[in-house]
């Protein structure tokens, strides 16, 4: 069995700590967001990526890539960053 986590890590404690530190004032609530979905990602399920991107109202780019999409698709990632850099920071419904 493959694992991607430290076997000594107490996942219950980590889960509880994450709930305590939930970002109520997360920037994506008021600022424009972009998200690149890696369709062949084995670390973060692509369906979870889509859920997170939808929740933050992000403009998405979907690539047939693994978790290391910046290495395998540098041109597409650069375009996504350039698009984000040239866009207004605040979401239009917040401004």
pTM of the predicted structure, to 2 decimals: 0.70
Select from 59, 79, 57, 56 the least CA-distant residue to 69. 79
> Which of these ranges, 20-24, 49-53, 85-89, has the smallest mean pLDDT?
20-24
Paired strand residues for 35: 60
- Summarize pLDDT for 28-61 with one digit per residue, the tens: 888 899 999 999 999 999 999 999 999 999 999 9
What is the distance of C-alpha 63 from the center of its chain? 13
């Amino acid at each position: 069995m493959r694992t991607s986590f430290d076997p000594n890590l107490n996942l219950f404690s980590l889960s509880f700590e994450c709930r305590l530190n939930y970002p109520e004032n997360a920037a994506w609530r008021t600022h424009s967001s972009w998200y690149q979905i890696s369709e062949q990602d084995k670390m973060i399920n692509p369906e979870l990526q889509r859920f997170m991107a939808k929740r933050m109202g992000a403009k998405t780019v979907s690539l047939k890539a693994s978790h290391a999409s910046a290495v395998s698709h540098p041109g597409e990632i650069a375009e996504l960053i350039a698009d984000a850099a040239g866009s207004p920071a605040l979401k239009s419904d917040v401004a």
